Structure 1
Amino acid sequence: MTSDDIRLGDIIVEGDSGSIVLVGFPYDEGVRRNNGRVGAKHGPDSFRQLLKRTGTVVNAEYDDLDLRKYLTISDGGNINADLTLEEAHQQLESRIRQLISNGKIPFVVGGGNDQSYPNASALLNHTTKSIYVINIDAHLDVRPLKENNKSHSGSPFRLLLEDQKFHQNPSNRFIEFASQGSQCSIEHVNYLRSKSPLTQIFWYQSIRDNPLAPFRTILKSAEEQQSDIFVSFDIDSIISSSCPGVSAPATVGLTAQQACDIAFYAGESLQVKLMDLSEYNPLIEDYRTGKLVTLIFYHFVLGRAKAIRDLMQ
């Protein structure tokens, strides 16, 4: 660190003391079960290495926004990497629920997208409010379980929609965002349709020219209901020319700038209590994809700092 160029990594401390707490989920067994390319278990540690030099702490583009004045960031480490996937899911849910209960904003870096059900379940079992779960993903991830009723990277939101607690509040919502029809079985689409009005799909073709407007509309709707929000971001929704290091790359998809803007608006919404990133696979490609993933996190932090600054002014 030099005094004239302080970066995000320079202000992150270890432990759970931050207002935003990073948690790593170093597992890709769920990807293997879903016949994807393994390697995402290395995502959290690769993310940390690249995070060290990501982003300026004082951002002149946002009216000299100084992150240190409005929030703190800590690294809460990884979920134990030596567990079975089922045990890891249990540990993750307990960990995230504890952080939320202590007023922290967990930001979880995977790992496979199977992490998203334990994360959603942690919020669902903590809050007394309604919740919005927003899945930014080329895929719907509502596949049935496999291998003797085991979860996998394609099943997290099937598990959420089969969770009776999710149905107890009629104001709960599950939103599929940037889904690609070429990647989504009609059976899975019809499954989601059968769960209406709890569910809604924003197809990529309908939002590709301006995904930010509908994303902000979703956030506003949740805010008006005072719902708690979980944003789950599977980075295979980003076009592979910008984000090749994923388990299932997308030939078409969100741009890198759109992904960062979405993360900024997620951070800016104080109703967002939790965010995760899934499917970063550094064994396929580490640097370009990894820098984008850390920039997505940086924009989430920027959005949250700006929201707090606006409240204080």
Structure 2
Amino acid sequence: MSKLVLFNSNQLNNIIKKREGEIKFGERIKLLTAFDDIYGKLKNLDVKYVLIGLPEDVGVFANLGNTGTNKAWESTIKILLNTQHNQENNGNNVLILGYLDFSEELKTCSKLSQDSNKDLKKSRQIVENIDKEVTNIIFNIVKAGKTPIIIGGGHNNAYGNIKGTSLALNKKINVVNFDAHTDFRALEGRHSGNGFSYAFAEGFLNRYFIFGLHKNYTSQAIFDTALNAKKRIRYNTFEELEVEKILKYKPQMKKALKFISKTNFGIEIDCDAIINIPSSAKTPSGFSVSKTRQFVSYFASNKNAKYLHVCEAAPTPKTATQVGKLITYLITDFIRANES
């Protein structure tokens, strides 16, 4: 747990904007006060959901993407804690654990160039170290019987989410990925584009459904290999759903859920799939925020949903509030649907 920075009461009090006659979400959430025996503390704490931030963009850099995903956690926590606590939005069952501190990794990566093969190789080695930290914290949260909600970072962290959950449950898990891309690139060193292919190859990922794949950004090699493995990998495309209107949204969610929900599964939300959201690969053609919220709520309502991961958002100072609001909606939608 060397990278874990606990969220503390001073930070909480500095963020919450109290108002007479109202109770803010942050006034009801739980905190840990010490690092010793995190697993034991989590296991004995009367909460179901554990929020953890992953402020990094090394995996995005290593995949030749646009950085900035290290800012999403900070943007989100400021908004989440100031939402209303009420009968429809209950903070009592939530622990804000904190974030994994990858500042040294980010500093090292800032000195590297994406034009250098040597530097790319080094950045991918850094991602392997990040993988270990993410795997460890997710393992402890799931092993303690809690449901992790993971915010920020690149989609490289799907690997640690899947591996940590799989090891904690001692079985392979399934995943549904709301994404414009498969993130099933070659095993060429770790980055944000191959978290699922590594988890699949190493035996942690069983069934995988990609929801809303963009035809323009899927290589023929992926179509020929991964997307031909229909017993374990299935998909639909954004064009079929939203442009050609060959497929309908709700029936496709039902189809995807049937494919992955017979056993434990994770929910992965890549903000690259949402129209005009600042992200590592911002798209002018994507799903609406409302359809994204509907997606999270639908899958979270299944008893076998084991985690939520919202990634790839890359807020700027001008867009931080809007990105924070978006991710906060997804977090609270997940909790409401999962609890009920």
Quick check: 1:250 aligned with 2:251? no
Aligned equivalent of 1:235, options 259, 268, 271: 271
- Confirm or deny that 1:259 pairs with 2:259: no
Kept after mapping to 2: 8 A contact 1:80/1:88:
no
**Mapped contact 1:176–1:202 kept (Cα < 8 A):** yes
- Unpaired stretches in structure 1, ≥5 consecutive residues: 59-63, 167-171, 308-313
Does the CA contact (< 8 Å) of 2:89 and 2:332 recur in 1?
A: no
Structure 1 residue 108: Cα displacement: 0.5
Alpha-carbon distance in 1 for matches of 2:214, 2:89: 38
Who wins on radius of gyration, i.e. which is larger? 2
Alignment match, 2:332 = 298
Residue number in structure 1 paired with 2:96: 75
Cα contact 1:22–1:76 (8 A) shared by 2: yes
Superposition deviation, residue 293 in structure 1: 1.3
Aligned partner of 2:302 in structure 1 is 269
- Output the CA distance in 2 between the equivalents of 1:8 and 1:216: 32
Aligned to 2:167: 125
Question: What is the distance in 2 between the residues matched to 1:9 and 1:189?
Answer: 45
- Deviation for aligned residue 1:23: 0.7
Aligned pairs, number: 285
Q: In the alignment, what sits opposite 2:314?
A: 281
How far apart, CA to CA, are the structure 2 residues paired with 1:247 and 1:130? 29
**What are the residue-to-residue correspondences of 1:79-118 with 2, within 5 Å?**
79-81=100-102, 82-83=104-105, 84-118=126-160
Contact kept? 1:23, 1:78, Cα under 8 Å: yes
The answer to whether structure 1 residue 57 and structure 2 residue 95 are counterparts is no
SS at match of 1:14: coil
The alpha-carbon deviation at position 131 of structure 1 amounts to 2.6
- Which residue number corresponds to residue 253 of structure 2? 215
Residue 195 of structure 1 deviates from its aligned partner by 2.8
**Is the Cα–Cα contact under 8 Å of residues 151 and 309 in structure 2 kept in the other structure?**
yes
Q: Post-superposition shift, 1:288?
A: 1.8
1:46 equivalent to 2:75? Answer yes
Alignment check: 8 A CA contact 1:212 1:258 kept: no
Instruction: Give the Cα separation in 2 of the matches to 1:87 and 1:151.
Output: 10
Distance in 2 (alpha carbons) for counterparts of 1:250 and 1:178: 13
How far, CA to CA, are the matches of 2:314 and 2:67 in structure 1?
7
CA displacement at 1:150 relative to structure 2: 2.4
Q: CA separation of 1:9/1:137 partners in 2, compared to 1, >3 Å: closer, same or farther? A: same
Identity within the alignment, %: 22
Q: Give the conservation status (yes or no) of the 8 Å contact 1:269–1:304.
A: yes
TM-score scaled by length of structure 1: 0.84
The Cα shift of 1:165 comes to 4.8
Aligned partner of 2:212 in structure 1 is 178
Question: Equivalences for 1:114-153 in 2 at 5 Å?
Answer: 114-128=156-170, 131-145=173-187, 149-153=188-192
Q: Name 2:58's counterpart in structure 1.
A: 29
Q: CA deviation at 1:80?
A: 2.6
**CA 1:236–1:102: 2 relative to 1, 3 Å:** same
